[in-house]
Amino acid sequence: MLKVNSKNKIELRDASEVMKLSRMGSFHQSRLSFMRILMRQLKDEKWTFKKVEFAINEKGIGHAVYSAIGPHNTYSLVAFAHELSDDKRSDRVIADAWDATFTLFDGIPTIQDIKRLQKNVPFQEVGRISEKELCLSRANKSVRLWEHVISSLSNGSQPDVNQIDSVGYLMRTTAVYGSGKFGAIDRDFVLDRKEFAAPFQSELLSVFMIRWFVLDLVNFMAKVRNPGKFVPLQPDIAHRLGIGNSTGLGMAPFLLNHPILLNNWILARETALSRVRSIQQATDREVKLFLELFKRSCSLISLWRSDHELQIQKLKELGNDLELLTVHLTEFTLKSQYPWDKLHNWSSKNLSIEGQELIVSLMMEPYGHIIDDLSATMSDNTQSYEKIDGLKTVGEIKAQLQDVYSWIFKIDWKRNDTKARAWYVSQEKLEPRLGERFSEPVEDYEQPLSPARDAYLLSLALNKSDEKMLMAKFLMKYPEHRHTIRRLQIISDNPYAEIQDNTISSELLPIDMLRCKLSFFGAIHFDPRSDRWVRICMFKGAPYPDQMSNSVSDYWSYLEGFES
Amino acid sequence: MKVSFNELKSMSKGAARGSGLSWGQAEEVSFATVWLLKNGFDVSNDLISLLESDIIYPPNNIDKDIWENKSGDLDPIKSGVALLDLNINKTIVLRNVFLPYFLIPFIAQLSQSMLIKANNFSAMLIDGRVKTNVKDLPSRSEEVKLSAISDKIELKYSQVPNRCKVADDVWNRLEELTYLTYAPATEESRVLGAGAGLSDND
Distances (CA, A) of B145 to A242, B70, B104, B119, B133: 62, 18, 12, 9, 15
Looking at the DSSP bridge assignments, the partners of residue A136 are: A103, A177
- For residues A108-120, one letter each, b for 16 or more C-beta atoms within 10 angstroms of the residue's C-beta and e for the rest, the string is ebeeebbebbeeb
Predicted confidence at residue A115, as pLDDT, reads 97
Q: Do A425 and B181 touch (CB under 8 A)?
A: yes
Chain A residues whose beta carbon lies within 8 Å of the beta carbon of residue B27: 482-483, 486
pLDDT higher than threshold 70 for residue B5: yes
Sequence letter at residue A73: N
- Asked if the Cβ–Cβ distance from B201 to A434 is below 8 Å, we say no
ipTM for the complex?
0.95
Residue B58 scores a pLDDT above 70: yes
Query: Which of B2, B3, B4, B160 should be substituted to probe chain A, the one whose Cβ sees the most A Cβ atoms within 10 Å?
Result: B4
Please, what is the end-to-end C-alpha distance for chain A in angstroms? 37
CA B25 to chain A, closest CA, distance in angstroms equals 7
Tell me which chain B residues have a C-beta less than 8 angstroms from the C-beta of A187: 6
Of the pLDDT bands very low, low, confident and very high (cuts 50, 70, 90), residue B135 is confident
Alpha-carbon gap: A480 to the closest alpha carbon of chain B (Å): 5
**CA distance linking residue A442 with residue A423, whole number of Å:** 8
pLDDT at B192 over 90: no
With a cut of 80, say whether residue A91 has pLDDT above it. no
Alpha-carbon distance of A251 to B103, in angstroms, equals: 34
* pLDDT at A4 exceeding the cut of 70: no
Asked if B161 reaches chain A (Cβ–Cβ under 8 Å), the answer is no
CA distance A543 to A541: 7
Tell me, what amino acid is at A109?
A: P
Q: Which tens digits make up the pLDDT trace of A173-232?
A: 989 999 999 999 999 999 999 999 999 999 999 999 999 999 999 999 999 999 999 999
Question: What does B94-159 look like in DSSP terms, one character per residue?
Answer: EEEEESGGGGHHHHTTSSS-EEEEESS-EEEEETTEEEES-SSPPSEEEEEEEEE--S---PPP-P
From the list A188, A190, A177, the residue with the least C-alpha distance to A102 is A177
Is residue A73 over pLDDT 50? yes
Asked if the Cβ–Cβ distance from B189 to A186 is below 8 Å, we say: no
**pLDDT at residue number B190:** 65
pTM for this structure? 0.95
Tell me whether residues B193 and A86 touch, CB distance under 8 A: no
Q: Is the Cα torsion angle A360, A361, A362, A365 positive or negative in sign?
A: positive
**C-alpha–C-alpha distance, residues A25 and A509, integer Å:** 9
Q: Are B106 and B123 in contact (CB under 8 A)?
A: no
DSSP state of A365: G
DSSP string, A93-125: TT----SEEEEEEES---HHHHHHHHTTGGGGG
* Mean predicted lDDT score pLDDT of chain B: 91
Res. A270: pLDDT tops 80 = yes
CA A481 to CA A451: how far, in whole Å? 11
d(CA B16, CA B27): 8
Residues A314-341 have pLDDT tens digits of: 889 999 999 999 999 987 778 899 999 9
All residues of chain A having their beta carbon less than 8 Å from the beta carbon of residue B35 are 385
Angle (CA) A491 B31 B53, round 5°: 125
Report chain B residues whose CB lies below 8 A from the CB of A485: 24
List the single residue in A with minimal CA-CA distance to B8: A180
Q: Of the candidates A138, A158, A140, which has an alpha carbon nearest to the alpha carbon of residue A149?
A: A158
At A519 the three-state DSSP class reads helix
Q: What is the pLDDT of residues A411-466, one digit of tens each?
A: 999 999 999 999 999 888 788 899 999 999 999 999 999 999 999 999 999 999 99
Give, for A23, the enclosing helix (H) or strand (E). Answer: helix A21-24
Using CA of residue A10, residue A11, residue A17, residue A19, what is the dihedral sign?
A: positive
Return the DSSP state at A439. T
- Chain B environment of A180 (Cβ under 8 Å): 4-7
pLDDT at A564 over 60: no
**CA distance to A72, A188, A189, A411, B31, per residue, from A192 (Å):** 11, 8, 7, 44, 22
pLDDT of residue A3: 46
Q: A2 pLDDT exceeds 50?
A: no
Across chain A, which distance is largest between two alpha carbons, in Å?
A: 86
Instruction: Summarize pLDDT for A338-360 with one digit per residue, the tens.
Output: 999 999 999 999 999 999 999 99
Interstrand relation of B73-74 and B56-57 (parallel, antiparallel or unpaired): parallel
CB contacts of A184 in chain B (<8 Å) are 4
pLDDT confidence of residue B98 = 98
DSSP code per residue over A527-544: EEEETTEEEEEESTTPPP
- Is B190 in the A-facing interface, judged by CB distances under 8 Å? yes
Which residues of B are less than 8 Å from A427 in CB distance? 179, 182-185
CB pairs < 8 Å spanning A and B: 161
Give the mean pLDDT of A488-508. 96
Task: Choose the closest CB to A184 out of B4, B27, B182.
Answer: B4
Q: Which helix (H) or strand (E) holds A170?
A: strand A169-177
Percentage of residues in chain A having pLDDT higher than 70: 98
Residue B195 confidence class, pLDDT cut points 50, 70, 90: low
